[in-house]
Amino acid sequence: MARIVVTGAAGFIGYHLAKLLLSQDHTVIGIDAFTPYYDVALKRSRAGNLLQSQHFAMHEFAIEDAGALHRAIDEVRPDIIVHLAAQAGVRYSLENPRAYIDSNLIGTFNILEAARELRPRHLLIASTSSVYGANTKIPFAETDRTDHPMTLYAATKKSCEAMAHSYSHLWNIPTTVFRFFSVYGPWGRPDMALFIFTKRILEGVPIDVYNYGNMRRDFTYVDDLVGAIAELIGKVPGDPRDAAPAADLVELGSEVAPFRLLNIGRSSPVDLLEFIGHIEKCVGRPAIINMMGMQPGDVAQTFADTTALKRVTGIELTTPVDVGVRRFVDWYRSYYRA
């Protein structure tokens, strides 16, 4: 079993991943800053659940603090680093852009420096489908160009991908970067659509639906997503410079580094109004819908090509949206006594 550092362990995805890894008998060391971007009490509740395991420890600091990060990594000496901590949210990047520079760029640089010194067995880093930006080719494939980000959030995550590749090349650090597609499920973030819609429908408050409902998202259930990450931990990319000429560069992601780039999505987009319909059914009341135009930086559709993910892991993400929405609504009503 491995010693695994998970940054952002009190976050939505980090919590679910840490929980899964603990169930697989790994030792998990969480790092989280508990920033007030959204309800800190929700983050504390997630962390409290994880701390019930004797194989979990939490370090509380921001990854922008290079000294604290290096001390923690040096003390723990993990086999694996899974870097999920980030300032998330497409729309918030319009309001507070500096948070994205500090957390996503400086924080990821600090992680890469720590990995350069530690040389972990495998470094895994979260990116986002937002890097596909203005790309109109559907579905989005890892080999598509991502040169036109539409928000600073997307630009910082694209920069993280590039930095990770350079460190992988220069220091021979086996690295996997994965792009997430519209992750949802229990313990989700309050700034995400499913959380907002559920809360407002229960309260009888109107919901804002952008682009007049003409939106499709590749909604990915969180348990499926973290299952894929856990599987990828053991799929360490080799260095193509040492491989046979026939090495599959779609899987490796690079001709000059032990680096892999993969989409993680369900690869089955759902119309936004259909998604809202599932929430209405679970909640037992209709939504009051306020149709809006397209928001700056938003895109009408996301759709993951997961051919490479299936080739590397042999798995598919299959949880139906109606099942995932039901599980979220059940959790929401239980947690908030709604």
Q: What is the pLDDT of residue 41?
A: 98
Q: β-strand 122-128 against 80-83: which pairing, if any?
A: parallel
- Kindly tell me if the per-residue pLDDT of 91 is higher than 80: no
- pLDDT-derived band at 86 (thresholds 50, 70, 90) equals very high
Q: What is the pTM of this model?
A: 0.95
The confidence band for 244, taking pLDDT boundaries of 50, 70 and 90, is low
Label each residue of the chain as H, E or C: CCEEEEECCCCHHHHHHHHHHHHCCCEEEEEECCCCCCCHHHHHHHHHHHCCCCCEEEEECCCCCHHHHHHHHHHHCCCEEEECCCCCCCCHHHCCHHHHHHHHHHHHHHHHHHHHHHCCCEEEEEEEHHHHCCCCCCCECCCCCCCCCCCHHHHHHHHHHHHHHHHHHHHCCCEEEEEECCEECCCCCCCCHHHHHHHHHHHCCCEEEHHHHCCEECCEEHHHHHHHHHHHHCCCCCCHHHCCCCCCHHHHCCCCCCEEEEEECCCCCEEHHHHHHHHHHHHCCCCCEEECCCCCCCCCECCECCHHHHHHHCCCCCCCHHHHHHHHHHHHHHHCCC
**Mean pLDDT across the chain:** 94
Domain boundaries, given as residue ranges, for the chain = 3-181+220-265+305-317
| Tens-place pLDDT, residues 266-275 | 999 999 999 9
Question: Has residue 302 got a pLDDT over 50?
Answer: yes
Structure confidence at residue 223 as a pLDDT band (50, 70, 90): very high
Q: How far is CA 137 from CA 128, 132, 264, 311, 318, in A?
A: 17, 9, 17, 21, 23
Please compute the mean of the pLDDT values over residues 41-50 and round it to a whole number.
98
| The predicted structure's pLDDT at residue 246 | 46
Please give the pLDDT value at position 4. Answer: 98
Q: What is the mean pLDDT of residues 141-162?
A: 94
Q: What is the CATH code for 3-181+220-265+305-317?
A: 3.40.50.720
- For the segment 172-190, the average pLDDT, to the nearest whole number, is 97
Active site residues: 153
Would you place residue 279 in the very low, low, confident or very high pLDDT band (cuts 50, 70, 90)? very high
Q: What mean pLDDT do residues 187-198 have?
A: 97
The pLDDT of residue 163 = 98
In this predicted structure, the answer to whether residue 321 has a pLDDT above a threshold of 80 is yes
Best-predicted range by mean pLDDT among 146-155, 222-231, 287-296? Answer: 222-231
Confidence of residue 252 (pLDDT cuts 50, 70, 90): low
Q: Count how many residues are written for the chain.
A: 338
Residue 290 confidence (pLDDT): 95
pLDDT tens-digit series, residues 55-69 = 999 999 999 999 999
Per-residue pLDDT of 18-42, as tens digits, reads 999 999 999 999 999 999 999 999 9
Q: In the chain, pLDDT over 70 holds for what percent of residues?
A: 97
Which pLDDT does position 247 carry in this prediction?
Answer: 47
pLDDT of residue 243: 59
Please determine, for residue 183, whether its predicted confidence score (pLDDT) is greater than 90. yes
